[in-house]
Amino acid sequence: MFTSTGSNGLYKAPLSKSLLLVPSAISVLLTLLFQHYQKFFAYNLQAIKEDFQIWRLVCGRTICLDLKDTFCSSLLIYNFRIFERRYGSRKFSSFLLGAWTLSALFDLLLVEITQYMFGITISSLPSGFLGPVFALFVPFYSSIPRVQVTQVLGHFSITNKTLVYILGLQLLTSGSYIWILALSGLVSGICYNSSILKVHRILCVPSWVAKIFSWTLEPIFSSAEPTNEVRVGMGATVDIQRQQRMELLDRQIMMSQVAQMRRQRQQQGGMINWNRLFPPLRHRHNANYQDHRPSEQDTPPPTEVSEEQVARLMEMGFSRGDALEALRASNNDLNVATNFLLQH
Domain layout of the chain by residue ranges: 14-147+156-223, 305-343
Domain 305-343: CATH architecture, name and number where available: Orthogonal Bundle (1.10)
Report the CATH fold assignment for 14-147+156-223.
Rhomboid-like fold (1.20.1540)
Residue ranges of the chain with per-residue pLDDT less than 70: 1-8, 154, 225-303, 315, 317, 340, 342-344
**CA angle in degrees (0–180, nearest 5) for 81-180-111:** 140
* DSSP H or E run through 144: none
pLDDT of residue 131: 94
Predicted TM-score (pTM) of the model is 0.66
Q: How far apart are CA 14 and CA 160, in angstroms?
A: 24
How far is Cα of residue 208 from the mean position of the Cα atoms in its chain? 22
* DSSP H or E run through 268: none
Cβ atoms 77, 21 nearer than 8 A:
no
Q: How far apart are CA 171 and CA 163, in angstroms?
A: 12
* DSSP H or E run through 156: strand 156-159
Q: Phi and psi at residue 305, in whole multiples of 5°?
A: -115, 155
SS3 158: strand
Cβ atoms 222, 212 nearer than 8 A:
no
Q: How far apart are CA 85 and CA 48, in angstroms?
A: 36
How far is Cα of residue 324 from the mean position of the Cα atoms in its chain? 25
Return all residues near 165 (Cβ < 8 A) that are at least 6 apart: none
pLDDT of residue 91: 92
Q: How far apart are CA 92 and CA 102, in angstroms?
A: 15
pLDDT of residue 251: 59
